[in-house]
Amino acid sequence: MKRSEIAGILAQPKLNEVVMVMGWVRAFRSNRFIALNDGTGMKDLQIVVDFEKFPEDLLSRIKYHACLKVSGMLVESQGAGQTVEITAQSIEILGESNPDEYPLQPKRQTMEFLRENAHFRMRTNTFSAVFRIRHAIAYAVHKYFSDKGYYWMHTPIITGSDAEGAGEMFRVSTLDPENLPRTEDGGINWKEDFFEKATNLTVSGQLQAEIGALALGKVYTFGPTFRAENSNTSRHLAEFWMIEPEVAFNDIFDNMDLAEDFVKYLINYVLTNLPDDLEFLDKRIQEEEKNLPADKRRPMGLIQMLRFVVDNDFARITYTEAMELLRNSKDFKKGRFQFEPVWGSDLQAEHERYLVEKEFQKPVIVRDYPKDIKAFYMRGNEDGKTVAAMDVLFPYIGEVIGGSQREERHDVLLNRMREMNIHESELWWYLDLRKFGGAPHAGFGLGFERMVLFITGMGNIRDVIPFPRTPGSAEF
RNA sequence: GCCUCCUUAGCUCAGCCGGUUAGAGCGGCGGACUGUUAAUCCGUAGGUCCAAGGUUCAAGUCCUUGAGGAGGCGCCA
């Protein structure tokens, strides 16, 4: 008999037919009811066992997360928790799971413990929901851009330029670290390395995406990115996935419109397509926050908040306006900020949180930052002091998007690179783009895991990627 | 990189001002139960109190160092 998938059975139950399913035991209650899940969806299928018809030895091996093959009649359920169930005719154990040694249990376990058991954690309700949602968001990214005529561009993972300007890089080398070839002045002779130059893992595909935008018009990247920053927070990974659209002829305002529309599309996609998983995560958060004092709880439930973000326009302000709001705020006047908001210094996390959670109570896009705190490639504004940069700030997680209109004027870009000590020889091709058929263009980077973090409502970015890489941690 | 906190049974935790034989729930094991929804009920086993050193008549509890983990900040997405 052909195997049926549980999600399919629950979506379109064919009552009084014999079906065969395979899956993992989520619970075995009352020596009679097995909750079986095969990963096709949030909901389990209930298997009803008449224990007089099965050998005791078989029943005693039906343990938490054992793998079963079950066939039986699909019937209407007499119980309240489900609409249909299978009356078991045959049960075969495909894979045992000795509960004496198996680390997982059908109970609340900490995220830290599950993280140490990353090879098993996807079998829990929470993580299977998170990773189904992660997939759905990734799919929605491609669907959104493809439907709008963007081309997915594969930018290199190993890069020869060390001026991508987004952080510390991981070196890629085949040289023997015990016996490094030296130059005459004692430095490392990278000419003897695999690529005959020093190479690193990419920190951003943006500069190469600009090449695509100035030929294909609308492109986006979606791939892994690596930053060797020693960041120890719940919002940073050393290896993460980033989405970077880059669009010819767009200015900073088109860029903001794109960012807002795109992010709302992703949230909507999950709301529409994975309601069961979202509902489970929503309830989970409520349970978890029950024990917190009222002021520490989230003001909205997960689904309610996602709807709210989709249904409301993002606030849009300039950096200079943000500074004024912050300096005029009660929080500042009462000395509640650890850092004073001063024009010219970057917005601190506490400032971002104030703008998003107190001032506007919705996502905020801040634009036109001082040029001295932003990257060399961002387009200079008329005032000579600011650049056409934008950050999209979200509740709980802060910055999800950073982007800008790019400097398309060759001379201006060259001057800026010289001011910031970036060697022209490193980025000759990037300057060439402005010399030959240059065009205004803009783009941004969306941190994929930060988006997953926001949509799932999880608390730590390490729990929305299957195998997190963070300082001091690369297990699995 | 900086600051703070944590580490006690397989898991989640309690253990008060240093004082007898270290406690609970869940899980395991044995038993009961044919409509359960993290099933329930009865019984039972299970401990290098993270490691090393120190203070003390006495250390899970205090001190020092180390290891692992978490949270916050910075950097950013």
pLDDT at A396 over 90: no
C-alpha to C-alpha distance for A468 and A476, rounded to whole angstroms: 9
Nucleic strand B under 7 Å from the C-beta of A339: yes
- Checking if the pLDDT of A295 tops 70, the result is no
Check if the beta carbon of residue A86 is closer than 8 Å to that of residue A10: no
Nucleotides of B under 7 A from a protein CB: 1-3, 10-13, 25-30, 32-39, 68-77
Query: pLDDT of A57-76, one tens digit each?
Result: 888 889 899 999 999 999 99
Strands A218-226 and A151-152: parallel
Confidence of residue A13 (pLDDT cuts 50, 70, 90): very high
Over residues A272-293, mean pLDDT: 86
The pLDDT score that the predictor gives to residue A162 is 67
Distance measured from the CA of protein residue A443 to the C1' of nucleotide B52, in angstroms: 55
Q: Is the pLDDT of residue A292 over 70?
A: no
Chain A residues 145 to 204 with C-beta below 7 Å from nucleic strand B: 166-167, 204
- Residue A99's pLDDT band (cuts 50, 70, 90): confident
- Encode pLDDT of A403-420 as tens digits: 999 999 999 999 999 998
Complex ipTM? 0.85
Q: Per-residue pLDDT for A421 more than 90?
A: no
Of A135, A134, A106, A133, whose CA–CA distance to A120 is shortest?
Answer: A106
Nearest to A39 by CA among A71, A5, A64: A5
Say yes or no to pLDDT of A222 above 90: yes
pLDDT in tens, A120-144: 999 999 999 999 999 999 999 999 9
Residue-level pLDDT at A375: 92
Residues 213-272 of A, Cβ under 7 A from nucleic strand B: 227, 229-238, 240, 242
Interatomic separation, CA of residue A329 and C1' of nucleotide B5, rounded (Å): 31
Contacting residues 445-464/A vs strand B (CB within 7 A): 445-447, 449-450, 459-462
SS in 3 state form for chain A?
CCECCHHHHHHCCCCCCEEEEEEEEEEEECCCEEEEECCCCCCCEEEECCHHHCCHHHHCCCCCCCEEEEEEEEEECCCCCCCEEEEEEEEEEEECCCCCCCCCCCCCCCHHHHHHCHHHHCCCHHHHHHHHHHHHHHHHHHHHHHHCCCEECCCCCEECCCCCCCCCCCEECCCCCCCCCECCCCCECHHHCCCCCCEEECCCCHHHHHHHHHHHCEEEEEEEEECCCCCCCCCCCCEEEEEEEEEECCCHHHHHHHHHHHHHHHHHHHHHHCHHHHHHHHHHHHHHHCCCCHHHCCCCCHHHHHHHHHHCCCEEEEHHHHHHHHHCCHHHHCCCCCCCCCCCCCCCHHHHHHHHHHHHCCCEEEEEEEHHHCCCCECECCCCCEEEEEEEEECCCEEEEEEEEECCCHHHHHHHHHHCCCCCCCCHHHHHHHHCCCCCEEEEEEEHHHHHHHHHCCCCHHHCCCCCCECCECCC
Specify the pLDDT at position A414: 95
What mean pLDDT comes out for the span A241-266? 97
Name A444's Cβ contacts closer than 8 Å, sequence gap at least 6. A244, A245, A255, A258, A259, A390, A392, A401, A402, A403, A404
Looking at beta carbons, which pairs linking A171-178 to residues 24 or more positions away fall under 8 Å?
A171/A198, A171/A199, A171/A200, A172/A199, A172/A200, A172/A201, A173/A198, A173/A199
pLDDT value at residue A110: 87
pLDDT per residue over A436-473, tens digit each?
Answer: 999 999 999 999 999 999 999 999 999 999 999 998 88
Instruction: State the average pLDDT for chain A.
Output: 92
A406 touches strand B (CB under 7 A): no
pLDDT at res. A31: 86
The Å distance, CA of A305 to C1' of B28, is 42
Nearest DNA or RNA nucleotide to A227 (CA to C1'): B76
Q: What is the pLDDT of residue A139?
A: 98
- The pLDDT-based confidence of A313 (bands split at 50, 70, 90) is very high
The reported pLDDT for the residue numbered A98 is 85
- What's this model's pTM, rounded to 2 decimal places? 0.93
CA of A37, C1' of B20: distance in angstroms: 51
Grade residue A250 by pLDDT with cuts at 50, 70 and 90.
Answer: very high
pLDDT exceeds cutoff 80 at A164: no
Q: Is it the case that residue A296 has pLDDT exceeding 80?
A: no
CA→C1' distance for A297 and B19 (Å)? 42
Q: How far is CA A101 from the centre of its chain?
A: 33
Return the closest-CA partner of residue A36 out of A57, A18, A10: A10
Report the nearest residue to nucleotide B1, CA vs C1': A230
Q: Give the model's pLDDT for residue A293.
A: 64
When pLDDT is cut at 50, 70 and 90, the band that residue A109 belongs to is: confident
Q: Distance between CA A438 and CA A387 in Å, rounded?
A: 19
Distance of A103 CA from B58 C1′ (whole Å): 38
Report the distance separating Cα A48 and Cα A35, nearest Å. Answer: 9
Tokens of A4: 């049926």
Over residues A427-433, the mean pLDDT reads 94
Largest CA distance in chain A: 85
* Å from the A284 CA to the B13 C1': 20
